[in-house]
Amino acid sequence: MALPVATLDHVVINARDDMDRAAEIYRKLGFTLTERGYHSLGSMNHLAMFGTDYLELIAVPKNATTGRLDLLNYSYGLNGLVFGSEDSAVTYAELEKVMKNFADSIGRSHKGYSQVQKLQSGDYLSTADLTPLTRNTLTDPQQLRDRIRAAARDGYSIVEDELAIGILALAVPITDRHGRVVAALNCSAHTGDVSQEDLLSFLPLLTETAARISQALSHFPALTVT
């Protein structure tokens, strides 16, 4: 089933605790703003309406001690993009499939970074579904713990013939503004074309790119996984 057509509903601009200045700037830029509105969670907003979509300025009152204080931790400017859907249930179901396929494509490499402490502690690996993807897929819990520790130590993970026979994959972590691993950046190749040493030559480029993405995430709090 195809995804329903997604449409931009509104753009969110964070003004932190300086709504008066933000509203003045946007009015000078030519925007017509609605009267100030107030949310039940303690934040406030102004809207610039464009017919089928709108721009929202959001902030908390100066000297606020309760409510949406998280806005103070985010950068000024773009805070979120909100999309509408013709059928939210279908969209949700299809996005679940997309995310599962994405996770599967990253495979065991990504597990070397994701929630390292959680995977190393308790009985998670003892109860997790460790169904092998190939005859070479690592499924022993203790060996997986060792690989996770190595990935956390080295800053990368590389696997060969574990995701699929003939596939060599290298992955590095992407972190959010809190230093938590939220994604991975990987590259792969056919084992008949390159060796592990050849693929590791891309590690500096992957690491640099992942660092830039991680830094960019701090400016887009809406993309941070919570």
Q: What is the tens place of the pLDDT at every residue in 22-46?
A: 999 999 999 999 999 999 989 999 9
Q: What three-state secondary structure class fits 79?
A: strand
Same CATH fold, 105-223 and 6-86? no
Does the pTM surpass 0.85? The reply is no
CA-to-CA distance for 169 and 107, rounded, in angstroms?
A: 9
pLDDT of residue 152: 85
Hey, what are 78's tokens?
A: 């773009």
Task: List the beta bridge partners of residue 187.
Answer: 170
Cβ contacts of 204 within 8 Å, gap of 6 or more: none
Give residue limits of the domains in the chain: 6-86, 105-223
- CB 48, CB 55: distance < 8 Å: yes
In order along its 226 residues, the chain shows pLDDT tens digits of: 455 566 888 999 999 999 999 999 999 999 999 999 999 989 999 999 998 899 999 999 999 998 889 899 888 898 888 888 777 788 777 777 766 655 555 444 444 444 555 554 456 777 778 888 899 998 888 888 888 888 888 999 999 999 889 999 999 998 877 777 888 899 999 988 889 999 999 999 999 999 888 887 776 655 555 4
What's the CATH superfamily of 105-223? GAF domain (3.30.450.40)
Task: List the beta bridge partners of residue 47.
Answer: 56
Beta strands in the chain (DSSP E): 6-14, 37-38, 44-49, 54-59, 77-85, 157-160, 167-175, 181-190
CA-to-CA distance for 160 and 171, rounded, in angstroms?
A: 12
pLDDT of residue 197: 92
Hey, what are 199's tokens?
A: 């693929």
Q: What three-state secondary structure class fits 130?
A: coil
* DSSP letter for each residue of 41-63: TS-EEEEEE-SS-EEEEEE--TT
Q: What is the CATH number assigned to the segment(s) 6-86?
A: 3.10.180.10
